[in-house]
Amino acid sequence: MSKKDLSQAKFATLVTSEGNIKFELLTNMAPKTAANFVLLSQNKFYDGVAFHRVIKDFMIQTGDPLSRNDDPDDDGTGGPGYAFDDEINKNTPKLVKGVVAMANAGQQEGKGTNGSQFFIIAKDATDWLDGKHTPFGRVVEGIEIVDKIGNVKTKDDKPVKPILLKEVILSAN
């Protein structure tokens, strides 16, 4: 899909070292967030990043460019060099299993902290997160891969054996 066809992206396939996860982009509910994800994907920003945070029966998180370096202590602190606000309103879907949402550090100095990191919910309900993270996708294929990654051996919520996001493939269907 060429850069001029970005608006045609309706789905994203995460090609991981454990298998593929395909999700529908929620472009109507979170247009800025979905567009940010598409642009970063198109520019190969996500290629080779690790799933740096995995919490069994809860979520799997990726999208940090610093996860490519040799310093595990900075994993979870990187981003694209900019931040943007949440897109949350009364119609925002709940964060349930299979929802893809932006990871953030809440509001800082009145501004949003969304950038590149995102997570996929691996639990049926996460009420305490509703209204705090912008959902921008919903898994349509590969939920078993989410479960597989979510059940890898971890130490301090980091996979013992690296789990990689090899690339993101954008598609219209």
Cβ atoms 86, 36 nearer than 8 A:
no
Residue from 23, 25, 51, 53 carrying the catalytic annotation: 53
Q: Does the annotation count 133 as an active-site position?
A: yes
Residue from 129, 164, 165, 170 carrying the catalytic annotation: 129
Residue from 23, 51, 61, 136 carrying the catalytic annotation: 61
Q: What are phi and psi of 107, to 5 degrees?
A: -85, 135
Place of tokens 């890898």: 152
Residue from 133, 138, 165, 170 carrying the catalytic annotation: 133
Q: Does the annotation count 52 as an active-site position?
A: no
Compute the C-alpha angle 133/139/143, nearest 5°. 115
Residue from 6, 58, 66, 84 carrying the catalytic annotation: 58
Please, what sign has the CA dihedral across residues 172, 147, 62, 28? positive
Residue from 23, 51, 119, 136 carrying the catalytic annotation: 119
Cβ atoms 64, 52 nearer than 8 A:
yes
Residue from 23, 36, 104, 117 carrying the catalytic annotation: 104
Q: Does the annotation count 107 as an active-site position?
A: no
Compute the C-alpha angle 51/40/56, nearest 5°. 20
Q: Does the annotation count 104 as an active-site position?
A: yes
Active site residues: 53, 58, 61, 104, 119, 129, 133
